[in-house]
Amino acid sequence: MKIPLKRFTDEFYFYSSQLVVFFIVIIFLTSGSLVMGITQSLIIVLLMLVQTLLLASQGHVPVLRFLFSFITPIGYSILMAATSGQNFLESTNLLLWGSAVYIGFFQALSITFSQGLLKRLAEAALSLGSAVIFFTFYYYLDTRINLSRALSSGQIEREAYLEALKISSFRLGLKEFVSLPQHLFALLGIASFDLMLLASRMRAIGLKDRLDIYMAKNPLSLEPGQEDGGKYRETAPVKLLVTAISSDIIGFSGISEILGSLHSTTLLNKYYALWTHVASSEGGRIMSINGDSVILLFGLANEQNNPERALWTAYSFMDEMESLKEDLAALALPVDLKISIGLHSGMVTSALLGPPGELRRNVYGDTIAVAARLDSLCRELHQTLLVSHSTFRRLSLESQATLDKMGEVLLRQSTRPVPVYSRK
């Protein structure tokens, strides 16, 4: 299963990184040698990476989220018992296991309830608990380091040192610890950061709740022919073999600066009208317009001969382009109008797409992206039209005879170069 890098890094940053630091510091404080400390630290880091990987890939299942949270604590307990004879009830173990249980439980609870009050309570408990855990680790490490220094300098006996590290003695120095300015500043910083994360999570949950409610109120948009007794009937997505045309005006940004907004708008509208005119006679449909970029599809209503119809539409547009150039010449404007056109045939998915309450029949698929890639390649190969091999092999012999092979290019999702063709 492929795991997005962002999901893995988020999982590690928000829930694992502070535990890694704590593990490593404790190991170096108790290992007795640099080599042993490095070896044990590498083992713990490896276990933490495995845990994070499993949480990122399977952590959406509440039970697995809870169980996988114990991978590193189990590994640490076994490692310490094998190398230093550390008791399981030692404070470090209890803190680590308590943290894993708390975080794992409330993470699983948050996943179980996708919305509502329980979701918010689980997130609030998780956020508050994470801040408390972080500060507890900070306090414990500070206490242990100070006690180790006192033991080394002979200020306390070993029995007193061990007694002070017990979980029963954990609260004794907490009040004094918090009263120090530097520690109070750290506590405020941890709380502020945690509150910002919690506010962000609450906004995200609130937005999801509102979207779910809105989707429930507006399940579908009504399309022609879908009304049935006053109820909406959803049309399932379908796969279609189509031919896509992607077209742009080369260097339109520079042209628009020369023409000005009024003449640029007139040019674009005539450009759209010309494509509409030549495509309608061949059963093509303009799917999207974005500035000077136009996407047309052939085969939505009738798949038969759609590569042939798309090619002749492109030819018609190229032939009719002179009318646009004449309009510019009449304005005595120094503009050399050039068009790029890409054609590609392949599968797309036709489905109801759009915001809630405004769903419309639309398509998506790699075919459109490949046509756009051929469109952009026209500039590099100094051609007005480029046709993919997928379209070429579906054309009649008469239509193939109107095209010349221009070379081979690497297209989207292709593992080797494929032929492209242009008009003779």
* 3-state SS class at 407: strand
pLDDT score recorded for residue 209: 64
Instruction: Say how far apart CA 364 and CA 292 lie, in whole Å.
Output: 20
* Bridge pairing between strands 293-298 and 284-290: antiparallel
DSSP symbols for 228-249: ETTEE-PPPPEEEEEEEEEEEE
Half-sphere exposure of 304 (CA within 13 A, CB side): 1
- Tokens 């307990």, residue located: 77
Q: Which pair of tokens denotes residue 108?
A: 């699983």
Helix (H) or strand (E) holding 345: strand 339-353
- Report pLDDT for 220: 40
Q: What phi and psi, each to the nearest 5 degrees, are found at residue 285?
A: -140, 130
- In this structure, which long-range contacts are made by residues 76-79, counting pairs with CB atoms below 8 Å and at least 24 apart in sequence? 76/23, 76/44, 76/47, 79/40, 79/43, 79/44
Q: Which of 6-24 are b and which e, b meaning 16 or more Cβ less than 10 Å from the residue's Cβ?
A: eebeebbeebbebbbebbb
The size of the chain, in residues, is: 424
Q: What is the pLDDT along the chain (424 residues), one digit of tens a residue?
A: 456 565 677 677 656 666 677 777 777 766 667 888 888 888 888 888 888 888 878 877 889 888 988 888 888 888 888 887 666 777 778 888 888 888 889 888 888 886 778 888 888 888 888 888 888 888 888 888 888 888 888 888 888 887 887 777 777 778 888 888 888 888 888 788 778 878 877 776 765 565 555 555 544 443 444 434 443 344 678 888 999 999 999 988 888 888 888 888 888 888 888 898 888 888 888 888 988 999 999 988 777 889 999 999 999 999 887 767 766 665 655 567 889 999 999 999 888 887 877 777 788 888 999 999 999 999 988 999 999 999 999 999 999 999 999 988 887 666 688 899 999 8
Q: How far apart are CA 119 and CA 104, in angstroms?
A: 15
Within 10 A of 229 (CB to CB), how many other CB atoms are there?
5
What is residue 314's predicted lDDT score, i.e. its pLDDT? 94
| Residue pointed to by tokens 């759609």 | 306
Nearest to 318 by CA among 271, 282, 286: 271
User: Tens digits of per-residue pLDDT, 227-250?
Assistant: 344 433 446 788 889 999 999 999
Q: What is the four-CA torsion angle of 153, 154, 157, 162, rounded to 10 degrees?
A: 0
Q: How far, in Å, CA of 405 to CA of 388, rounded?
A: 10
Taking the complete model, does pTM exceed 0.75, yes or no? no
Q: What whole-number distance in Å separates Cα of residue 382 and Cα of residue 340?
A: 9
Contact between 214 and 358 (Cβ < 8 Å): no
> What does each C-alpha distance from 310 to 86, 275, 307, 371, 375 come to in angstroms?
76, 11, 5, 12, 14
pLDDT at 222: 38
DSSP letter for 180, please: S
Query: What does the radius of gyration of the chain's CA atoms come to, in whole angstroms?
Result: 33
Q: What is the DSSP letter of 412?
A: T
Strands 385-388 and 339-353, bridge-based pairing:
parallel
Task: Look up residue 157 and give its DSSP letter.
Answer: -
Residue 248 is predicted with a pLDDT of 93
**What per-residue confidence (pLDDT) applies to 3?**
62
Tokens of 256: 């628009």
| DSSP code at position 169 | G
Question: Could you tell me the end-to-end alpha-carbon distance of the chain, in angstroms, rounded to an integer?
Answer: 47
Label the pairing between strands 238-249 and 360-364: unpaired
Name the amino acid, one letter, at 176.
E
Let me know if 174 is exposed, middle or buried by CB neighbors in 10 A (0-12, 13-18, 19+). Answer: middle
Kindly give, in sequence order, each residue whose CB lies less than 8 Å from that of residue 414, ignoring residues fewer than 6 positions away. Answer: none
Tokens of 301: 């209503």
Q: What is the pLDDT of residue 371?
A: 93
